[in-house]
Structure 1
Amino acid sequence: MQILKQLQQHGPTSRIDLSSSLELTRAAVTIITNEMIEQGVLYEKGEAGIAGQKATRGRKKILIDINKNFRFAFGIAIDGLKIHIGLSNISGEVLEKRQLEIHPNDINEVTLHHIFVNMKEMMAYNCLEENQILGIGVCLNNRAMRIMKVTGGSGAPNYSELKQEFEKNFQIPVTFDSMISGIARAEVDFMCSTVSSSNLIVIRFSDNIDATIMVRNEIYRGYHNQAMNIAHMIVKPDGERCSCGHKGCALNEFSDDAVYVRIVNAFSKENTPLLYDYVEGNVNSLRVAGIFDYICLNDPGVMEIFKDCVKSFAIFINNIASLADPEKIVFFGTQFEREQFMQLLKEISAEYLGEEILRRVTSCRLKQNEIFLSGCALAVRQFFIQKGGF
């Protein structure tokens, strides 16, 4: 496990350097790596070179690396009423992806049937047998957990029935986790060639505000498995009352739904002239998914709402930075993929946040259209890296 984790996080490494960093004898590392090379898990990539320096005489270090096509992984992201299914190799390179819609009236059996049919088709199209798939990773957001009925009475998810359904259809191990944990796992394991940030917080805005914290590249879940439950962090004591009973929760101040409601309430030819023209005066055309388009119109009324929301957002960021001291605060979602929106967000936030904190704020390298990699990352981590092979 240690060797695979080291190679996954740091890329091609020589046996000598593995021995040093893992505090194992050279003989032990040689025996383990040679066996894994015979199995096809690892391969020798070539000689180590130092950029900008002339080649020296003597025996050179031979770099070894993970064979990224040794096995493959299925990732399934059930994101509300949308299902994203993808097939990747060990490095997160995508072979195929598909998107399905859940009908609100569909029972679990119907939804799962569609998932299983598509998975089997994807394996057939890519000429893969079950023994070439190391695992299936399934991620669900809060809404999907309710739809798929995996939330128990205590609020903790119970995946046992879902797991049984997968095991009836595939002889492939399966693991489950929250969407935000999978996103964080994919961001660290798939989205960088070498680890640039080992301590970070990943946040996602949608109908909820989900977050997780990574400490030394591992997810910190807290004593009660509820670490980073920040949707109800109070950021505006005199704000609107939240469903939880408190006033000024982050969820109530700047979640996607909260911003949408404020824009709809302000909508008029006088208050939001550019937005009014944009939707041809039809308030029913406004959608939660479109709020970031509306913000980027630079409509004076919409910008006034956005700037007010950013004040609370800045308090939110400052609190997180002060409490957790992360190296990076990473935001996931289509809105944060838009350079114009991120620039606008940082410009307004700069008025309230110091430059040092603002430098930590960045957008996730994992994109919304490949959110299924959250599941692939879970499968690779649990059924390959942690097992020390396949």
Structure 2
Amino acid sequence: MTETEAITFPTERPTPFDPPEDLAKLRETRPIARLAYPDGHQGWLVTSHALVRAVLADRRFSTRSELRHTPIESTSEARPAPPGFFIGMDPPEHTRYRQLLTGEFTVRRMRLLTERIEEITKEQLDLMERQGPPADLVQAFAAPVPAVVICELLGVPDEDRAGFMTGADALLRPDLPQEEKVSAFLSMQAQMRELVTAKRAAPTDDMLSGLTKSDLSDEELANIGFMLVGSGLDTTANMLALGTFALLRHPDQLAVLRDEPERVDQVVEELLRYLSIVPFLVRTALEDVELGGELVRKGETVTVSIPSANRDPGRFPDPDTLDLRRDTAGHVGFGHGVHQCLGQQLSRVEMRAGYPALFRRFPSLRLAVEPSEVPLHTDMLIHGVHSLPVTWDTAR
């Protein structure tokens, strides 16, 4: 392959925890390389830490949904983001929505949520212990905790939560037929509209009720709620499950979590860096931009590899080693720039509570199957595991 020949996006991971090997080769030889997109578009792939951060911080690269091309096969069509879906918008539209939501992530709410997250974590572990081993950690713990948290954040009634979770899962499947995605979207949107109507009539102490006091329309509120469910559930659930899998496969690092509880923040940040469950982000050039010695033309989409950036030896020494004592400052696990994940602190709280509590409750926790038998996400946008069979010793 010549240096000017377009590549296809690498997706084959050598292990559950490591990025595709081709990414490291590209990062060393062609940190910005021509990329052939499935829809026929010719764009770029960026793999170095410095260039990834440069793209994500540059306002000349757009997140507008109608401009994007996706580096993997997808049935979704490029179209303008609906009102409220600010992750597919640029400033000033993006800024308006984000400022309103930032106002709802108050210190008071985060403090109250921290206490509640610890309670939710304990409740799920209590249930898991009562049901006894073996268990699927995804269904017993990793998925329910963020599901309950995001629903409580929005004030979703108990009887509606299953529907929200099913719809969010459907929309994250890139191989799902477009008509099924549309059906799932419309169903969740209808549920959110009903919830918005209820919150306007009888507001409670939750984020959605707070947003009803703004000038946002019912459609905007419903779409924001839907977006928060979709983005706040699968990422944290997969971090809890895949992170546990990684810790079980690295007993020396699990010992750090157990023996040095004061390092819990470092534990979370290193797992975010090491696992990098979001495989890519895309931006489209609004004008010609010189990047890494190449000219990115207006209209060309740039895919940035989050796992490759977080494994760049130019930024993180010995990057392929899980080191829970590492300084991870600058990792891009939550993105970078004005579009950096709004709910990152909430996700961190869930992981800070989840990992230590899990291993305190079940000190003998271990895989119930061979590592090679753990089913990985190969059909989802977020990397993780479909299930994580575990077992533990019970008191006699």
**Structure whose CA Rg is larger:** 1
Which structure features the higher share of strand residues? 1
Say yes or no: TM over 0.5: no
Which structure features the higher share of helix residues? 2
Bigger RCO of structures 1 and 2 (CA < 8 A, at least 6 apart): 2
For this structure pair, what is the TM-score category when the shorter chain's length is used for normalisation?
Answer: under 0.3
TM-score normalised according to structure 1 size:
0.25
TM-score normalised according to structure 2 size:
0.25
